[in-house]
Amino acid sequence: MNTDETRERSGAGESTTVLPETAAQLVELERLQQALTEAEERARNHWEQYLRSVADLENVRKRAQRDIEAANRYGLEKFAAELLPVWDSLELAVQSSEKADTRSLIQGQKATLQLLAKALEKIGVVAINPVGEPFDPTRHEAMLAQESATAEPNSVLQVVQPGYELNGRLLRPARVIVSKGAG
């Protein structure tokens, strides 16, 4: 008999049994089919996860867009609410300007200015007052250069108009007079 083949003989005829190599191939085929089924299931699960992720991402994008639109629409609400007392104070000053004396008008203006300063402070506006600091062209605008025997060259001698920042971002540079060396 051939070593690659085992044959059984029975009374009615010959029957061939499965060869050991063929049995191994069948086992391997069955294992591969099982692996394919598992891989297809994993692929289906991954596809479903992908679709859910895409849908979630689209929902996040839409929500963020709605939030941005709402912030743009209502972002000034806090600022407007802070300015209303200033408005009221100015309106009262105008109404009483004919009856009031100079001293009370000045007091009213000072009170209104304090209300405005408080409102700006609450929303994060900070005045830039760089007297004595080195000149910084990113935060200051030089209006004039003036000789000074006491100040360091290229430092701020005087603020002509204050500058302002909002949460660390420049709104308006401070307009300043800068020292230059005596010469």
How confident is the model at residue 6, as a pLDDT? Answer: 44
- φ/ψ of 122, rounded to 5, equals -65, -30
Categorize the per-residue pLDDT at 1 as very low, low, confident or very high, splitting at 50, 70 and 90: very low
Between residues 66 and 14, the one the model is more confident about = 66
Neighbours of 111 (CB within 10 A): 14
Task: With both helix axes pointing from N to C terminus, report the angle between 77-96 and 102-122 in degrees, rounded to the nearest 10.
Answer: 180
Neighbours of 19 (CB within 10 A): 13
Lowest mean pLDDT among 10-24, 134-148, 153-167: 10-24
DSSP SS3 for 43: helix
To the nearest 10°, report the CA torsion of 28, 30, 35, 41: 170
The answer on pLDDT for 25 being more than 90 is no
- In single-letter form, the type of residue at position 87 comes to W
Kindly give the pairing relationship between strand 174-180 and strand 156-161: antiparallel
User: Over the range 140-170, which residues count as b (16 or more CB within 10 Å of their CB) and which as e?
Assistant: bebeeeeebeebeeebbbebeeebebeeeee
The CATH class given to the 124-183 domain equals mainly beta
Q: What is the percent of the chain with per-residue pLDDT over 70, rounded to a whole number?
A: 88
Between residues 97 and 158, the one the model is more confident about = 158
